[in-house]
Structure 1
Amino acid sequence: MPVLKKESLEKTADKSCEDAEILPKLPIPPLQQTMDMYLKCMKHLVSEEQYKKTKQIVERFALPGGVGEMLQQKLLEKRDNTENWIHQYWLDDMYLNNRLPLPVNSSPAVIFARHNFKDTNDHLRFTANLISGVLDYKTLLDLHALPMDYARGQLSGQPMCMKQYYGLFSSYRLPGGNKDTLVAQESSIMPEPEHIIVACNNQFFVLDVVINFRRLSEGDLFTQLLKIVRMAGNEDERLPPIGLLTSDGRFEWAQAREMLMKDSTNRDSLDMIERCMCLVCLDAPTGMELNDTNRALQLLHGGGYDKNGANRWYDKPMQFVVGRDGVCGTICEHSPFDGIVLVQCTEHLLKYMKNSPKKLVRADSVSELPAPRRLRWKCSPEIQGHLASSAEKLQRIVNNLDFTVYKFKNYGKEFIKKQRMSPDAYIQVSLQLAFYKCHRKLVPTYESASIRRFQMGRVDNIRSSTAEALTFVKAMVDGKSTIPDTEKMQYLREAIMAQTNYTILAITGMAIDNHLLALRELAREHCKELPELFTDEMYLASNRFILSTSQVPTTMEMFCCYGPVVPNGYGSCYNPQPEHILFCISSFRECKETSSTMFAKAVEESLIAMGDLCAKYNTKPETPIKEKKTKSQNGHKS
């Protein structure tokens, strides 16, 4: 294990604190700017009649001295009195108020490269190494010694808020009847003896990782994991698969948890899980072909109640899955942190494991270590009924998810950069083109944009379905044979410029979604009834994100994926690499209009068509390249 030098850690921690202090508060856009941008974002996505109706509603809302100005003033006061005016509203709206089950609907997964374990010992040595990496990273967190993140891409170099990292191993999502609670545990340099929970054969075991103020070595961890596997294999001790309850709807799980809490044995078991650092799930072999798609499915939902779906506890932010057949990765409860924080953490762990000395880990201190403890449960007939219902609903989720991993191999982000275009903006436009190819329309689209440049910043939304994107996709599909390539190229550049400009608005705190959300929630607090702006059909449609997208780039061999956010939608997570682009595309089988395979094919066709257009355009000497290059360079640093 690498030795952490106290002096250097203290210096890093001090530097982190200094940088955190200089972060500005999230700004509030002018009211009229947001109203104008809202109309602009939606005008080409709704009927003319609907747009005219909404325009009048917006104008009444924004009248001088009207309800909009009153709410804007309340928001300005909130900004002055809080670290971040949107933080709690956003957290509640995005996560804690959502009553849907966490698997697929909310929790993303990161899939590692497949491992070939020779035997059980090899499997558990890898797991011990992973746990050791977690403890190493947790030490950095406890000492506040993580180096500061700085913005990449657009407006790069600015320091980023680090607060989310401290929720990785010290938070828990507690289910509630109407709303969940995000519980945060304060970590300290000298914590009480800490533990992780190991799930194996749908049973849960407490593995203390600090005993007598000493962190367990990899040999110790390996010893304890061997004991857990043996204990989990004892058929006589098998208990009900209580983890299934956490895969249910949040209201149903809250009800079941309340019943469990009536018994002291259950209370003790729940307490140990809710206070643990993380879960490590030792999964049984899936019995499936282990391609990227099937490995991702194992992480997203575990394959159902009869596979590894009950070998989970979905409320815990970090669950590391290590399958006996080499399916490995992380499934996370998303409310405490965003995707890039998850990726940074997992990349640290993989680098730690890669750089660990390649020695044969043997069992250490066998007689000294207390045996891991199996968590016990007392199940009433009502709980048994909840378990049966949860199992059935999880199976429905499994059967409903239409998911595919697609690797576009013709080119990657290096080709796009050579066109003097932002790779992210380019890929976003390709997704709009793919959607138009499939459905002959564009729809409200979500792309997450980090606002960690500000105190306690999380994300805002980049609305990628711009009017310029619609012009481009219509030219490519409807005007395929009638519009000249030079004109299509001009439309492409304008679509990319519109995407880039909105991205800059979002990351600088000037986008519309967080602002509108805060105004709506303040209206609930201060108005007798919700203003018409927030009950209008165009506003409701603007928040149904049929296309939900996110760029999650990685430097290690791994990728991220998630499910759609609406029943008739797509999830599209993409990972641009120098020579290829990986897409994870999800939809629901119950919706007859959507198909993940169809969408992946359309993405491929779109990227090929756009690549051909760029190559063709750039080889024509008569094209006024210089003028357009100048235009495209404005804000296009990738």
Structure 2
Amino acid sequence: MRPSSRSTWPACAPGRRKSAACGLVTGVFPASPASWLVMAVAILASQASRLDPSMGLIGKIKEQLPASPWLSEPARAGLGALAFATLLWLGLVVTMRGALRALLCYHGWMEEEHGRTSNATKLWLALVKIFAGRRPMLYSYQASLPRLPVPAVRDTLQRYLESVRPLLSDLQFQRATALARDFERSLGPRLQWYLTLKSWWATNYVSDWWEEYVYLRARSPLMVNSNYYAMDFLYVTPTPIQAARAGNVVHAMLLYRRKLNREEIKPLMIQGTLPLCSAQYERMFNTTRIPGVEADTLQHRRDSQHLAVFHAGRFYRLDLYHGGRLLGPRALQAQFQRILDDPAPPAPGEETLAALTAGPREPWARARRTYFGSGRNQESLRAVERAAFFVTLDSSEQGLLGPEPGRALDQYSKALLHGQCHDRWFDKSFTLIVFRNGKMGLNAEHSWADAPVIGHLWEYTLATDVFNLGYNADGHCKGELEPGLPPPQKLQWEIPQECQRVIQGSLRVARALADDVDFHTFAFKDFGKGLIKKCRTSPDSFIQLALQLAHYRDKGKFCLTYEAAMTRLFREGRTETVRSCSIESCSFVRAMTDPAQSASQRLALFRVAAAKHQTLYRRAMVGAGIDRHLFCLYVVSKYLGVDSPFLREVLSEPWGLSTSQTPIQQLELFDLRSHLDYISCGGGFGPVDDNGYGVSYIVIGEDLITFHVSCKFSSPETDAHRFGANIRTALLDLRALFNLPPK
């Protein structure tokens, strides 16, 4: 077992490097350097008044100072007082941080009904606010966050068996129970001991292994299988000018990077009080996944002063600074327009070069080592991999276009998920894609962070693009052109025939994978969060139960269901699985499909199932889930060279339904009442299982839910549009169950 290899904290852009003061403020939080000054002045004043708050310690410190003719007696006394003030201040810092960490270990507030806070929880919240300090920076709470706890093996096994009970026959369940009990008696305690030992010295006992074994050691293509996408506004395109949209959006992202480097982004807080881990933000920019034969690595640079841009089969380096200053939107527009107007043809093999990042990892790793280790190829590849991020100026038009806008939206999703398989650099932390008609989106690599982190950047970018930067009446970026800007540099490649054959092999694999993806993206407008709240239930539980009902109607059976829940209440937390298909949800679904059941019986079962889902979600958030614990026990077994039939079977079970909610994290940036159209309609991902569905959804305002459904054409069991229709019907049936009128 080895600790996670963490990159350095992100640095500021040139001339804007992260200052020592920035690190000092974060390092002593929840205290502040100003509080040290106050304490030092107070101690010195007490000394001048012939008071000794140190009870003799200042005198002893003074005695340890070396004798010097340059130090008078008052100066020695002053230095002793300052040393004592510093020690006392540091002791208070450690005490406050330890108290805050202890307070954040309490999670009983989750069990309380919304709007009915107990006196004990109110007291706890008051103490958290006292010890949490004021004006925190992005990483201020990192050292105060508790470690993710390791659940007891018995508890995890019991919860596992409960989760699979509705999916197994009696005979299958007896076998699963026997395997679990044998594991609990024999191998489990030994593996648990090693895992507990790791949890004592590792910052987070899951995250480094999750990054390495789930992501970096995966040898299948990133495209579709791992990467995910984020969409633009659904009904609004701020400008139809491609270069102008790219200029504004890139400038907005760079403003975000500057705030990130200066730690000016506020840490996310639950209920405005409880901080979430911010560690995932550190590798958002200047990061690339480097292919390896057996395992990839993440290359994060402290800074990058350029972008890598792709258009019409050509690669460019676009410098972001001129004369020491960040390029404004108008200057960036001019630079992008130069790329669009450049008539130069691509070099042989250049047009499809990025297909290497879309195909299997091993051929790309070998090709990179063989053909890109020296000369022009090495220089050009470095320009791509060391860029702040990747930009594709896409030649197609996307959005709600044509006579069938619904089908066009499906194509828009596929364009963001995989494009032409050779026009995105899937290894970059994210690729910004700007289409010819001004529509845009993101494709993000998954290993460095989870979707809410890239979603935070995306929300800021959309809001800044429209509400802060804006466009002229003719659709161009505001501001003045900067004279004397050198043009973007076209990257040079010399790709031999053997390498071109490798590229074509990766492209064939990638195209077969992309062509097999069936996608359906749709906006559900009949009702939203506003009506669901009248049902006195969680919107997420409501939608998850609708998905269970839709899946049962679609396939006539239940399946293992994955719902992502964050564990960022803990340091370096990422995600845990909520197994949304439960005994209670299955009972409700069966009642909904049984004409003999009355509405009141169905409603009672719904409430039981929704309460169960909430319990499962809370368990996942506080580190009491099932799957990350079992995954880590499996990793320990591999390190020890022992085999566990139980763990092997658990980790091979297919997720027939994989779901995720895209949260809106910065509501203050958007006016959802007056400008509901000015919000991203979320994003999506490819199917996890060959015969299963992937479903992402976002609850927008009070009256809109957008769904992104994926599956594979090759599966005889799935159909994205059929499942989408079943989701609509299930949601309407739940509304009817509560006897609520249409909005």
Task: Please state which band the TM-score falls in when normalised by the shorter chain.
Answer: 0.7 to 0.9
Q: How far apart, CA to CA, are the structure 1 residues paired with 2:455 and 2:239? A: 28
Change (3 A) 1:145 1:94: same
Letter of the 2:339 counterpart: I
Note the C-alpha offset of 1:241: 2.5
Q: How far apart, CA to CA, are the structure 2 residues paired with 1:82 and 1:277? A: 30
* Aligned residue in 2 for 1:301: 418
* Aligned residue in 2 for 1:336: 448
Aligned partner (choices 508, 513, 520) of residue 622 of structure 2: 508
Note the C-alpha offset of 1:61: 1.5
Q: How far apart, CA to CA, are the structure 2 residues paired with 1:417 and 1:508? A: 25
Aligned partner (choices 612, 616, 631) of residue 517 of structure 1: 631
Q: How far apart, CA to CA, are the structure 2 residues paired with 1:486 and 1:116? A: 46
Change (3 A) 1:405 1:240: closer
* Aligned residue in 1 for 2:695: 572
Letter of the 1:615 counterpart: N
SS of structure 2 residue aligned to 1:179 = coil
Matched residue pairs, number? 589
Note the C-alpha offset of 1:117: 8.0
| Alignment deviations for residues 378-436 of structure 1 (CA, whole Å, 9 cap, x no partner) | 21222111222223223212321110012222211111111110000110111111111
Indicate conservation of the 8 Å contact 2:228/2:446, yes or no.
yes
SS of structure 2 residue aligned to 1:475 = helix
Letter of the 1:95 counterpart: Y
Residue identity over aligned pairs, in percent, reads: 28
Letter of the 1:503 counterpart: Y
Aligned partner (choices 606, 611, 636) of residue 730 of structure 2: 606
Indicate conservation of the 8 Å contact 1:321/1:331, yes or no.
yes
Note the C-alpha offset of 1:95: 1.5
Q: How far apart, CA to CA, are the structure 1 residues paired with 2:656 and 2:548? A: 12
* Aligned residue in 2 for 1:495: 609
Aligned partner (choices 541, 544, 551) of residue 435 of structure 1: 551
Indicate conservation of the 8 Å contact 1:561/1:584, yes or no.
yes
Note the C-alpha offset of 1:251: 1.8
| Alignment deviations for residues 451-498 of structure 1 (CA, whole Å, 9 cap, x no partner) | 011000100100001010111111111x1x111111111111111111
Aligned ranges 1:33-48 → 2 under 5 Å: 33-48=155-170
| Alignment deviations for residues 502-522 of structure 1 (CA, whole Å, 9 cap, x no partner) | 000000010011100111101
Note the C-alpha offset of 1:327: 2.9
Q: How far apart, CA to CA, are the structure 2 residues paired with 1:425 and 1:351? A: 29
Q: How far apart, CA to CA, are the structure 2 residues paired with 1:70 and 1:476? A: 45
Q: How far apart, CA to CA, are the structure 2 residues paired with 1:141 and 1:254? A: 32
* Aligned residue in 2 for 1:67: 187
Indicate conservation of the 8 Å contact 1:108/1:562, yes or no.
yes
Change (3 A) 1:116 1:170: closer
Q: How far apart, CA to CA, are the structure 1 residues paired with 2:708 and 2:351? A: 34
Is residue 549 of structure 1 aligned with residue 653 of structure 2? no
Q: How far apart, CA to CA, are the structure 2 residues paired with 1:421 and 1:486? A: 16
**Higher-RCO chain (CA-CA 8 Å, sequence separation at least 6):** 1
Is residue 397 of structure 1 aligned with residue 517 of structure 2? no
* Aligned residue in 2 for 1:228: 339
SS of structure 1 residue aligned to 2:580 = coil
Structure 1 stretches of at least 4 aligned residues deviating more than 6 Å after TM superposition = 6-12
Letter of the 1:128 counterpart: G
Please identify the structure whose Cα radius of gyration is greater.
Answer: 2
Q: How far apart, CA to CA, are the structure 2 residues paired with 1:12 and 1:612? A: 54
Is residue 162 of structure 1 aligned with residue 284 of structure 2? no
Indicate conservation of the 8 Å contact 1:402/1:588, yes or no.
yes
Indicate conservation of the 8 Å contact 2:217/2:295, yes or no.
yes
Q: How far apart, CA to CA, are the structure 2 residues paired with 1:269 and 1:211? A: 21
The alignment's TM-score, normalised by the length of structure 2, stands at 0.76
Letter of the 2:586 counterpart: L
Structure 2, unmatched stretches of 5+, are: 1-15, 30-135, 668-678
| Alignment deviations for residues 325-361 of structure 1 (CA, whole Å, 9 cap, x no partner) | 2331111111111111111111101111121154454
Is residue 326 of structure 1 aligned with residue 438 of structure 2? yes
SS of structure 2 residue aligned to 1:535 = helix
Q: How far apart, CA to CA, are the structure 2 residues paired with 1:12 and 1:328? A: 38
* Aligned residue in 1 for 2:311: 200
Change (3 A) 1:484 1:518: same
* Aligned residue in 1 for 2:581: 465
* Aligned residue in 1 for 2:112: none
Q: How far apart, CA to CA, are the structure 1 residues paired with 2:509 and 2:390? A: 23
Indicate conservation of the 8 Å contact 1:247/1:394, yes or no.
yes
Aligned ranges 1:230-249 → 2 under 5 Å: 230-231=341-342, 233-235=343-345, 239-249=350-360
Aligned ranges 1:54-453 → 2 under 5 Å: 54-63=176-185, 66-113=186-233, 122-151=241-270, 157-185=273-301, 187=302, 191=303, 194-231=305-342, 233-235=343-345, 239-286=350-397, 289=402, 291-302=408-419, 304=420, 309-354=421-466, 355-356=468-469, 358-359=471-472, 360-361=477-478, 364-367=481-484, 369-453=485-569
Change (3 A) 1:117 1:349: closer
Note the C-alpha offset of 1:541: 5.1
* Aligned residue in 2 for 1:625: none
What is the CA RMSD across the aligned residues, in angstroms?
A: 2.4
Note the C-alpha offset of 1:211: 3.6
Q: How far apart, CA to CA, are the structure 1 residues paired with 2:479 and 2:242? A: 13
* Aligned residue in 2 for 1:623: none
Letter of the 2:394 counterpart: D
Q: Which moved more, 1:207-216 or 1:579-588?
A: 207-216
| Alignment deviations for residues 532-570 of structure 1 (CA, whole Å, 9 cap, x no partner) | 21233xx2454x111000010345233211110111110
Note the C-alpha offset of 1:363: 6.2
Q: Which moved more, 1:204-213 or 1:127-136?
A: 204-213
| Alignment deviations for residues 594-636 of structure 1 (CA, whole Å, 9 cap, x no partner) | 111111111111111111011279xxxxxxxxxxxxxxxxxxx
Q: How far apart, CA to CA, are the structure 2 residues paired with 1:316 and 1:212? A: 27
Indicate conservation of the 8 Å contact 1:293/1:403, yes or no.
yes
Q: How far apart, CA to CA, are the structure 2 residues paired with 1:8 and 1:559? A: 37
SS of structure 1 residue aligned to 2:714 = coil
Indicate conservation of the 8 Å contact 2:237/2:439, yes or no.
no
Q: How far apart, CA to CA, are the structure 2 residues paired with 1:552 and 1:81? A: 33
Q: How far apart, CA to CA, are the structure 2 residues paired with 1:113 and 1:496? A: 31
Note the C-alpha offset of 1:320: 0.8
Change (3 A) 1:523 1:7: closer
* Aligned residue in 2 for 1:634: none
* Aligned residue in 2 for 1:627: none
Is residue 529 of structure 1 aligned with residue 529 of structure 2? no
Indicate conservation of the 8 Å contact 2:314/2:346, yes or no.
no
SS of structure 1 residue aligned to 2:339 = helix
Q: How far apart, CA to CA, are the structure 2 residues paired with 1:438 and 1:432? A: 10
Change (3 A) 1:474 1:224: same
SS of structure 2 residue aligned to 1:331 = strand
Is residue 596 of structure 1 aligned with residue 708 of structure 2? no
Indicate conservation of the 8 Å contact 1:177/1:250, yes or no.
yes
Q: How far apart, CA to CA, are the structure 2 residues paired with 1:149 and 1:118? A: 31
Indicate conservation of the 8 Å contact 2:523/2:704, yes or no.
yes
Note the C-alpha offset of 1:98: 1.9
| Alignment deviations for residues 309-337 of structure 1 (CA, whole Å, 9 cap, x no partner) | 32211000111111112331111111111
Change (3 A) 1:604 1:130: same
Q: How far apart, CA to CA, are the structure 2 residues paired with 1:236 and 1:146? A: 40
Change (3 A) 1:383 1:495: same
SS of structure 2 residue aligned to 1:615 = coil
Q: How far apart, CA to CA, are the structure 1 residues paired with 2:577 and 2:549? A: 19
Letter of the 1:389 counterpart: G
Indicate conservation of the 8 Å contact 1:44/1:467, yes or no.
yes
Letter of the 2:334 counterpart: T
